[in-house]
């Protein structure tokens, strides 16, 4: 069955695919083709695979045996309805960020597929490089996910939050080989389930953030990840070290964080996403040039 998903323009599926290829956790979440993105989610206890591709006129074609049941999941995954135009209208007057916006034009915020997945990953990424956290996520979903063919490859769809909450510390530790993280995952998943997705998605940002911070195992870094990378909440942003580093890299050491927050307002999350994605791309190009011996700074 095929459905057409509208997107908020500008939208570039090519930019979505390029970002997904550079973000290590996507290796366990997605199957990427030359012009397709495939994934799977569990709905009502059953895994459902789906594939997205461009459909022309800025829309996306959704292919799935149960397309109607996964349409909302698929749209949220790629940030199809995000108001990127509002962000661009602000960023156009930002001389430091605008070159990155031009390069990433049409990129929407690619999220984790479900609240359960980002709840687990928010623990796995604590004090761990992204590649290590991604590898642990792969072990987790292989142990507990529902096996299904996705885009011609075998994948494991993350269980629903209620089922994740039934896992024990012993089971998780055996799967990922890390007892302290297993203990925190149990507490975080059960705490997030008790709060509920509706509160975290729809409540004022401060209320949602503060509710997350009451859960043992969630600090400001994990709370921000759940709200931004999981639920796509762009309306506020804590000035964590990573965001501060991005700001300094763009604007200099004496950057005025309050001025950035005031400029971007409810789109501050998109500022953070573009800064992260753009600076990572610049760094990757520089590393590639040095590896080839074509960058004079590498000598």
Residue 293 binned pLDDT confidence (cut-offs 50, 70, 90): low
Per-residue pLDDT at 216 exceeds 90: yes
Instruction: Evaluate whether 236 touches 206 at the Cβ level (below 8 Å).
Output: yes
pLDDT of residue 238: 77
Distance of alpha carbon 255 from its chain centroid, rounded?
26
Q: What is the mean pLDDT of residues 123-134?
A: 94
Give the C-alpha distances (Å, rounded to integers) separating 294 from 47, 284, 289, 297. 47, 14, 5, 9
Residue 223: what pLDDT?
Answer: 95
| Residue 56 φ then ψ, to 5° | 90, 155
DSSP 3-state of 123: helix
CA distance 253 to 134: 31
Q: What is the DSSP letter of 81?
A: T
pLDDT, position 289: 61
Position 297 confidence tier, pLDDT thresholds 50, 70, 90: very low
Backbone CA torsion sign across 183, 23, 198, 68? negative
Q: Give the span between the Cα atoms of 23 and 34, in whole angstroms.
A: 16
Contact 66, 95 (CB under 8 A): no
Dump pLDDT digits (tens) for 177-204.
Answer: 999 999 999 999 999 999 999 999 999 9
**Main-chain phi, psi angles of 133, to 5 degrees:** -60, -40
Confidence check: pLDDT of 228 > 50: yes
Residue 295: what pLDDT?
56
Residue-level pLDDT at 299: 34
Q: How far apart are CA 62 and CA 67, in angstroms?
A: 7
Listed in sequence order, the residues at least 6 apart from 142 whose beta carbon sits closer than 8 Å to its beta carbon are 156, 175
pTM: 0.90
Domains of the chain in start order, with CATH, are 83-230 (1.10.340.30)
What number of other Cβ atoms are within 10 A of residue 47's Cβ?
A: 19
pLDDT > 80? residue 102: yes
pLDDT surpassing 50 at residue 298: no
Band of the pLDDT at 284, cuts 50, 70, 90?
low
Q: Are 39 and 47 in contact (CB under 8 A)?
A: no
């Amino acid at each position: 069955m095929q459905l057409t998903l509208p997107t908020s323009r500008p939208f570039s599926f090519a930019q979505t695919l390029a970002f997904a290829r550079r973000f290590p956790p996507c290796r366990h979440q997605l199957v990427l083709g030359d012009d397709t993105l495939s994934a799977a989610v569990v709905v009502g206890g059953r895994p459902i695979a789906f594939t997205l591709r461009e459909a022309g006129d800025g829309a996306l074609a959704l292919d799935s045996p149960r397309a109607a049941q996964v349409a909302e999941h698929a749209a949220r995954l790629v940030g199809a309805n995000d108001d990127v135009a509002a962000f661009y209208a602000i960023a156009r007057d930002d001389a430091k960020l605008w070159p990155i916006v031009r390069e990433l034009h049409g990129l929407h915020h690619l999220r984790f597929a479900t609240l359960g997945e980002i709840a687990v990953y928010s623990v796995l990424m604590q004090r761990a490089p992204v590649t290590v956290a991604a590898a642990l996520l792969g072990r987790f979903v292989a142990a507990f996910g529902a096996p299904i063919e996705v885009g011609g490859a075998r994948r494991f769809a993350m269980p629903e939050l209620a089922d994740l909450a039934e896992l024990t510390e012993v089971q998780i530790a055996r799967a990922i080989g890390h007892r302290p993280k297993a203990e925190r995952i149990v507490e975080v998943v059960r705490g997030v389930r008790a709060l509920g997705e509706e509160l975290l998605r729809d409540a004022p940002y401060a209320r949602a953030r503060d509710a997350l911070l009451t859960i043992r195992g969630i600090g400001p870094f994990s709370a921000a990840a759940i709200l931004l990378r999981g639920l796509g909440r762009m309306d506020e942003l804590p000035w964590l070290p990573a965001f501060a580093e991005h700001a300094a890299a763009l604007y200099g050491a004496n950057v005025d964080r309050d001025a950035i927050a005031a400029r971007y307002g409810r789109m501050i999350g998109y500022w953070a996403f573009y800064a992260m994605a753009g600076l990572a791309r610049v760094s990757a190009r520089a590393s590639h040039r040095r590896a080839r011996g074509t960058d004079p700074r590498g000598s």
